[in-house]
Chains A and B, each alone.
Chain A
């Protein structure tokens, strides 16, 4: 699987101008806050309509402003783990996990696999308010995986988790990477947590890629 991204979009006083390809494996998108990292993810996921862009997954066009194409967010099949877990507060853990399943066309993992992979078995009947920050992030990641995504976008998945808990999530990300081989874009401003794991690193400063 491969993702092609080409975006030009004004963001306040800077202009986001990025072009990159990501293949199976982990692409780390690094840079200080305000560099435009989340905007790149939002443009890929369909929550930001860029001024000019061409984004495709395996040749399947998601956005092509030159041809007036913009696939709606819900049809892009892009798994997005936001900075905050955004779990549905009216559903328990199991129902959160199952939310996207009805839309998954070719699910590569079973619900049981994801529960096992993310260590969620003891949490299934819990209410989302009864989860720790790290547990919430694991449920959010599991929920994204069960929607049958073609690629994964992780926006600072460890930002809302305290340092002690980071060790609780990183092993799950490693297992995910080893077992599912989904192209993954991992946004962070903290290089340590990800550099050793990344297959490709992209540094974004003021909207532009610095090599």
Chain B
């Protein structure tokens, strides 16, 4: 059975992954729309920047986050002095690291879903009087919804398993930033930690199955609704 400590680690992991997914989703939708619908100066730069965390070693992404959002980072110092918001070595920092790492996966799925919406339907909406923004809200996004949700689930799963950037930027502080991944790593270095590590491993397997089942169920429902 899970101990109180195990449960705390699992709860914190879920909180971090959920926060990372929900906070980054609106930005991911906006950027996916931009990449799918528009061609503009700096398109390739934005596209590359979005995909960067997918290609960079996670430790490097973590280090860049530390330099940017850390106590002495360009944005981090400003946020701390003006708004009192601190990311480094806090659970919010772990969420930021998870969000950054999951972002390219979320955008890829969302962008594909938006590109798959038949532009002829958007033209039909325009001929009926709908402005560009209204067409996006009432036609494009509802029809892309299964892909948007799929993107969020993939990002959530990625956030849950994130290790490199999280441990570099937020460390593995029990009760504050220690997630399932970083806890398992810490337990591996502890001769008495084997049993707890295995318990956490089983929990992550179960959560992963749950997430995949949920995404399949959502996709099936969406297919039924749009058919």
With contact pairs A84-B120, A86-B120, A86-B124 given, residues A100 and B139 touching in the complex (Cβ less than 8 Å):
no
Contacts of B121 in A (CB 8 A): 86, 88-89
With contact pairs A89-B226, A90-B225, A90-B226 given, residues A103 and B130 touching in the complex (Cβ less than 8 Å):
yes
Contacts of B138 in A (CB 8 A): 99
Determine how close the nearest CB of chain B comes to the CB of A182; give it in whole angstroms.
Answer: 14
Interface residues of A in 37-65 (CB under 8 A from B): 45-47
Contacts of A147 in B (CB 8 A): 127-129
Chain A 61-103 interface mask (CB, 8 Å, partner B; 1/0): 0000000000011110111101010101110000000011011
Contacts of A102 in B (CB 8 A): 129
A82 touches B120 (CB 8 A): yes
With contact pairs A86-B121, A88-B121, A90-B225 given, residues A144 and B127 touching in the complex (Cβ less than 8 Å):
yes
- Asked if B125 is an interface residue, CB under 8 A from chain A, the answer is yes
The residue on B at minimum CB distance from A85 is B124
Q: Which of under 10, 10 to 19, 20 to 34, or 35 or more describes the interface residues of B? A: 20 to 34
Complex CA distance for A77 and B121, rounded to whole angstroms? 17
- Asked if A143 is an interface residue, CB under 8 A from chain B, the answer is yes
Please, how many residues of chain A have a CB less than 8 angstroms from a CB on the other chain?
28
Determine how close the nearest CB of chain B comes to the CB of A160; give it in whole angstroms.
Answer: 13
Contacts of A125 in B (CB 8 A): none
- Asked if B11 is an interface residue, CB under 8 A from chain A, the answer is no
A45 touches B127 (CB 8 A): yes
The residue on A at minimum CB distance from B125 is A99
A89 touches B143 (CB 8 A): yes
The residue on A at minimum CB distance from B128 is A100
Contacts of B135 in A (CB 8 A): 74
A90 touches B142 (CB 8 A): yes
- Asked if A129 is an interface residue, CB under 8 A from chain B, the answer is yes
The residue on B at minimum CB distance from A74 is B126
B123 touches A73 (CB 8 A): yes
Determine how close the nearest CB of chain B comes to the CB of A100; give it in whole angstroms.
Answer: 3
Kindly identify which residue among B125, B126, B226 contacts A46, using a CB–CB cutoff of 8 Å. B126
- Asked if A11 is an interface residue, CB under 8 A from chain B, the answer is no
Contacts of A1 in B (CB 8 A): none
- Asked if A104 is an interface residue, CB under 8 A from chain B, the answer is yes
Contacts of B131 in A (CB 8 A): 72, 74
Complex CA distance for A45 and B123, rounded to whole angstroms? 10
The residue on A at minimum CB distance from B124 is A86
- Asked if B39 is an interface residue, CB under 8 A from chain A, the answer is no
- Asked if B38 is an interface residue, CB under 8 A from chain A, the answer is no
Complex CA distance for A72 and B132, rounded to whole angstroms? 10
B120 touches A90 (CB 8 A): no
Contacts of A100 in B (CB 8 A): 128-130
Contacts of B124 in A (CB 8 A): 80, 82, 86, 88
Complex CA distance for A78 and B129, rounded to whole angstroms? 9
Contacts of A73 in B (CB 8 A): 123, 126-127
Contacts of A99 in B (CB 8 A): 125, 128, 130, 138
Complex CA distance for A47 and B135, rounded to whole angstroms? 15
The residue on B at minimum CB distance from A143 is B128
Contacts of B227 in A (CB 8 A): 89, 127, 129
Complex CA distance for A143 and B130, rounded to whole angstroms? 13
Interface residues of B in 19-60 (CB under 8 A from A): none
Determine how close the nearest CB of chain A comes to the CB of B75; give it in whole angstroms.
Answer: 38
Chain A 93-119 interface mask (CB, 8 Å, partner B; 1/0): 000000110111000000000000000
Chain B 206-227 interface mask (CB, 8 Å, partner A; 1/0): 0000000000000000000111
Residues of A within 8 A of B (CB): 45-47, 72-75, 77-80, 82, 84, 86, 88-90, 99-100, 102-104, 127, 129, 143-144, 147-148
12 A-B pairs besides A86-B120, A129-B227 with CB distance below 8 A are: A72-B126, A72-B131, A73-B123, A74-B128, A74-B132, A86-B121, A86-B124, A88-B125, A88-B139, A89-B227, A99-B125, A147-B128
Closest 4 interchain pairs by CB? A103-B129, A100-B128, A86-B124, A80-B127
